[in-house]
Amino acid sequence: MDKTNAERQARWRQRQKELIEQAKAKLADVGGHGAAEELERVNARNASLEREIAERGRELRQQQPGKANSSKAPVDPDRSEVAKLKKANRELRAEINNLMQWHEAEMLSQGKMPLETHRAVLMCLHPDRSPTEEERATACRLYNAWRGSLRDAA
């Protein structure tokens, strides 16, 4: 057992070097050729695929000459996609807002405490917090308003 932190670190570094050497030896044995040859093979395959993609793109552009010579300004597909997503986001936010309003109305009709009031009261009563006077006053005001709405409904 090592006595100092420096000795433990030196032993750990030595063990890491041994593991790296073992991994290099295993990598050299994989497939009968070394890592450098494998990397060259993968890079060559990648380059050939990129050339094939570029050639297919040229072929497609040649097959559709009417679209390339259009008098309209080219539409950036990213902009239209962003516009669609922004519109969907606005619609979802409006739906969430409507659901929250419905939920609040439903809770009040059943005599249950609104979420904002519930949070404020719990925040003041939680043992791990020390609320400020303003937080206490807000919680008290919200609680009293809720109690008053219960009395008015009855």
Distances (CA, A) of 8 to 15, 21, 65, 94, 123: 11, 20, 70, 60, 48
Is it the case that residue 15 has pLDDT exceeding 70?
yes
The confidence score (pLDDT) of residue 132 equals: 92
Query: Does residue 60 form part of some domain?
Result: no
Please tell me whether residue 60 adopts helix, strand or coil conformation: helix
14 or 150, higher pLDDT: 14
pLDDT at 29: 66
Q: Which of 27, 49, 48, 50 is nearest to 37 (CA)?
A: 27
Boundaries of domain holding 93: 86-154
- Domain presence at residue 122: yes
Q: Count structural domains, the chain.
A: 1
Single-letter code of the amino acid located at 89: N
In a domain, 30, yes or no: no
Summarised one tens digit per residue, pLDDT across range 94-136 is 999 999 888 888 887 888 888 889 999 999 999 898 999 999 9
Local confidence band at 140 (pLDDT 50, 70, 90 cut-offs): very high
Report yes or no on 50 lying in a domain: no
DSSP 76-93: -HHHHHHHHHHHHHHHHH
- Whether the predicted pLDDT of 93 surpasses 90: yes
What is the average pLDDT score of the chain? Answer: 81
**Which of 109, 126, 120 shows the shortest CA–CA distance to 144?**
120
Q: How confident is the model at residue 70 (pLDDT cuts 50, 70, 90)?
A: low
Q: 102-114 b/e with 16+ CB inside 10 Å = b? A: eeeeeeeeeeebb
pLDDT band at 35; cut points 50, 70, 90: low
Residues 6+ apart with CB under 8 A from 139: 117, 120, 121, 123, 124, 131
